[in-house]
C-alpha cells in the first residue's frame, strides 16, 4: 500500500504547479486548466485524509468540490467567450484597460 505522505506530496506538487500556472501563464485557457489542477490537487488530499481518518466526510467533500469546479469552469469559459468576441484573443496581456 502506498503510504499517506506520498499522496500528500503529490497533492502539494500538483497544487503548486497549478498555482504557478495561474500566476505565470498568459493564455487564459491554460490559466483555467491550471485552476482545475489546483482544485483536483485538493480533492486528492481530501481523499487521502479521509482514508487516514476512516471518515466518509472527506469523500463527500470531493463531490461538492467537483461540482463547484464544474460551475467555475462554466462561468469562466463564458467570461472568456465574451472577451474573445470583442478582442479575438485570450492572451491576458491584452487586458490592460483598467491599469493606470
Partner 1 sequence: MDATALLESTGALLPHLTVLVTGLVILTLDLFLTPQSRYLNEVVGLIGLLVAFLFTLSTAGAPRQVFMAMAVVDYLGAFFNATFLLIAALTILLSASYVRREGVSAGEYYALVLFATTGFMFVAAAADLIMVFLAIETLSIATYILAGLLREDPHSQEAAFKYFMLGALSSAFFLYGIATIYGALGNTNLVNVAQALGQGDFSPLLLMGMALLIVGLGFKAAVVPFHMWAPDVYEGAPTAVTAFMTAGPKAAAFAAFLRVFFQGFTTPDMVQHWAPIFAFLAALTMILGNFVAMAQQSLKRMLAYSSIAHAGYAFVALVAHNTLGASSILYYLVAYTLMSLGSFTVLMVVARREGPLYAFDDYAGLGTTHPLLAAMMALFMFALAGFPPTAGFAGKFYVFSAAVQAGYYWLALIGLLTSVVSVVYYTRVVMLMYMREPNGAQPIPRLAPTTMAVLGITAIGILYMGIFPGGVMRLAEHSVAFLFQAKM
H/E segment holding residue 3: none
- CB closer to partner 1 out of 10 and 95: 95
Interaction between residue 18 and partner 1 (CB under 8 A): yes
d(Cα 81, Cα 17) in Å, to the nearest integer?
25
Could you identify the residue written with the cell 484573443? 89
- CB closer to partner 1 out of 1 and 56: 56
d(Cα 68, Cα 58) in Å, to the nearest integer?
15
Could you list the residues that contact partner 1 (CB under 8 A)? 8, 15, 18-19, 22-23, 28, 31, 35, 38-39, 41-42, 45-46, 48-50, 52-53, 55, 57-58, 61, 64-65, 68, 71-72, 75-76, 78-80, 82-83, 86-87, 92, 95, 97-100
Amino acid at each position: 500500500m502506498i503510504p499517506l505522505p506520498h499522496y500528500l506530496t503529490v497533492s502539494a506538487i500538483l497544487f503548486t504547479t497549478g498555482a504557478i500556472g495561474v500566476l505565470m501563464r498568459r493564455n487564459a485557457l491554460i490559466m483555467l486548466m491550471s485552476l482545475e489542477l489546483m482544485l483536483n490537487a485538493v480533492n486528492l488530499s481530501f481523499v487521502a485524509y479521509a482514508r487516514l481518518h476512516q471518515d466518509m466526510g472527506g469523500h463527500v467533500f470531493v463531490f461538492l468540490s467537483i461540482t463547484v469546479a464544474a460551475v467555475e469552469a462554466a462561468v469562466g469559459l463564458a467570461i472568456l467567450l465574451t472577451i474573445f468576441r470583442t478582442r479575438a484573443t485570450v492572451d491576458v496581456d491584452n487586458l490592460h484597460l483598467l491599469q493606470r
